């Protein structure tokens, strides 16, 4: 009679990191490193918020001026683009509309 344990292959371990078990591969070193990096940032992460309504109003006004041919100089002043057409009475950029 042949002993039972000498002919049968070893049973797979329940350890998912067992490299001998081809059916259930274990985590690689890079996966573990990625988890560590994610956990380190979790405490400092914030949910990104959209811009405030006031900021949106200012941005829309800025885009409106740009589309009408106004440019900002390095000091932040609005000046006419030399390549854009303006009405003859348009000397100043339109003001920011009230909220």
Better pLDDT: 89 or 33: 89
Beta bridge partners of 79: 71
In a domain, 14, yes or no: no
In a domain, 74, yes or no: yes
Stretch 46-71: mean pLDDT: 92
CA distance 85 to 64: 15
In a domain, 3, yes or no: no
Query: In Å, how far are 15, 21, 32 from 24, measured between CA atoms?
Result: 9, 6, 16
Per residue in 60-70, pLDDT (tens digit) is 999 999 999 99
The model carries a pTM of: 0.49
In a domain, 69, yes or no: yes
In a domain, 39, yes or no: no
Helix (H, G, I), strand (E, B) or coil at 22: coil
Domain region containing 61: 53-82
Please give the tally of structural domains in the chain: 1
CA distance 23 to 61: 61
């Amino acid at each position: 009679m042949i002993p039972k344990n000498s002919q049968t292959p070893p049973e797979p371990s329940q350890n998912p990191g067992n490299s001998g078990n081809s059916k259930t591969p274990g985590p690689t070193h890079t996966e573990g490193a990625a988890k560590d990096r994610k956990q380190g940032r979790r405490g400092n992460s914030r949910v990104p918020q959209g811009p405030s309504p006031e900021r949106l109003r200012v941005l829309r006004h800025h885009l409106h001026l740009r589309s009408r041919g106004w440019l900002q100089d390095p000091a932040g002043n609005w000046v006419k683009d030399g390549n854009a057409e303006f009405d003859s009475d348009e000397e100043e950029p339109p003001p920011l509309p009230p909220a």
